[in-house]
């Protein structure tokens, strides 16, 4: 499907053209700017934004979002104040899993690329979302024809250069930006991160699986922290 003009994207998202342009410049919608200044928006990014209903309600800061997902994954919170920890725990108690998925979505901007070797690229990423779906839902099969992940101990720019990736809004490699303070050690991202990234999918089944997994983690957390 061809890219859309900003006025058509605005109509699809129920926002103004200026908001669409702001989202494009912030990297929250994918598209390209032509030499005359006109923006074109990819239909896929519009579908993802609509599926998350990202325009409804305020999003949470990246630091708070990462800390909340770490809390749901059973990881200890380090480097954040006690007041922030208290706020995160209050959000877990009072928010639905769908609301959590929606509000943490903006913590990581997705960048898409084309790769000569998906297998080699995947081997050096911390896998998440569709590439790690069976970690959180045994009824789902992790996708091998696409890759979703986070870089480990280098910058995104360095990883892209080293793997000769080329920017492509329809590419099969999606790399999410992680918070500067985060370091992922294992093959896969923490469970709540996988679930939150899966909830970004435009596939109804995958999105539902991500939200369900977040709710199961939330219920386990509530059982542990409710006196």
60, 73, 121 from 67: Cα distances, Å: 11, 10, 27
d(CA 133, CA 195): 8
* Average pLDDT score over residue span 146-161: 92
- Show contacts of 214-220: CB within 8 Å, 24+ apart: 214/72, 214/97, 214/100, 214/101, 215/96, 215/97, 217/72, 217/73, 217/191, 217/192, 218/72, 218/92, 218/97, 218/100
What is the chain's mean pLDDT, rounded?
Answer: 85
SS3 2: coil
Burial 153-170 (b: 16+ CB within 10 A, else e): eeebeebbeebebeeebe
Residue 197: what pLDDT?
92
Task: Convert the pLDDT of each residue in 168-223 to its tens digit.
Answer: 877 889 998 877 667 787 899 999 999 999 988 877 888 889 999 999 999 999 99
SS3 123: helix
Q: Which of 53-62, 77-86, 128-137 has the weakest average pLDDT?
A: 53-62
Task: Give percent of the chain above pLDDT 70.
Answer: 92
* Residue extents of the structural domains in the chain: 4-52, 58-227
Q: Which of 2-11, 110-119, 156-165, 205-214 has the weakest average pLDDT?
A: 2-11
What lies within 8 Å, CB to CB, of 3 at 6+ separation is 31, 32, 40, 41, 42, 43
- Range picked from 28-32, 51-55, 71-75 for highest mean pLDDT: 71-75
Residue 14: what pLDDT?
72
Band (1; pLDDT cuts 50, 70, 90): low
* Average pLDDT score over residue span 84-110: 89
pTM of the prediction?
0.79
Report whether pLDDT(96) > 80: yes
C-alpha closest to that of 30 among 180, 202, 205: 202
Report whether pLDDT(151) > 60: yes
User: CB–CB of 97/211 below 8 Å?
Assistant: yes
DSSP-assigned letters across all residues of 47-95: HHHHHHTTTSSPPPPHHHHHHHHHHHTTPPP-SS-HHHHHHHHHHHHHS
User: CB–CB of 15/55 below 8 Å?
Assistant: yes
Of the candidate CATH numbers 1.10.8, 1.20.1070, 1.10.10, 1.20.1440, the domain formed by 4-52 belongs to: 1.10.10
- Show contacts of 77-84: CB within 8 Å, 24+ apart: 79/181
Token pair for 89? 């725990």
User: CB–CB of 12/1 below 8 Å?
Assistant: no
């Amino acid at each position: 499907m061809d890219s859309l003009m900003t006025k058509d994207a605005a109509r699809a998202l129920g926002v103004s053209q200026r908001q669409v342009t702001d989202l494009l410049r912030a990297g929250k919608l994918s598209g390209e700017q032509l030499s005359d200044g006109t923006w074109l928006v990819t239909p896929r990014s519009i579908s993802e934004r609509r599926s998350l209903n990202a325009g409804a309600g305020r999003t949470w800061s990246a630091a708070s979002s990462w800390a909340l997902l770490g809390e749901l994954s059973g990881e200890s919170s380090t480097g954040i104040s006690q007041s922030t920890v208290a706020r995160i725990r209050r959000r877990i108690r009072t928010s639905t899993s769908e609301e959590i998925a929606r509000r943490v979505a903006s913590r990581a901007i997705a960048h898409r690329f084309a790769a000569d070797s998906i297998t080699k690229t995947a081997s050096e990423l911390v896998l998440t979302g569709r590439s790690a779906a069976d970690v959180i839902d045994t009824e789902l099969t992790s996708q091998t024809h696409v890759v979703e992940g986070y870089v480990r101990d280098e910058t995104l720019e360095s990883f892209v250069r080293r793997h000769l990736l080329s920017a492509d809004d329809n590419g099969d490699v999606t790399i999410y930006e992680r918070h500067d303070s985060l370091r992922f050690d294992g093959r896969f991202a923490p469970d709540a991160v996988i679930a939150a990234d899966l909830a970004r999918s435009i596939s109804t089944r995958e999105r539902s699986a991500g939200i369900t997994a977040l709710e199961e983690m939330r219920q386990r957390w509530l059982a542990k922290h409710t006196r």
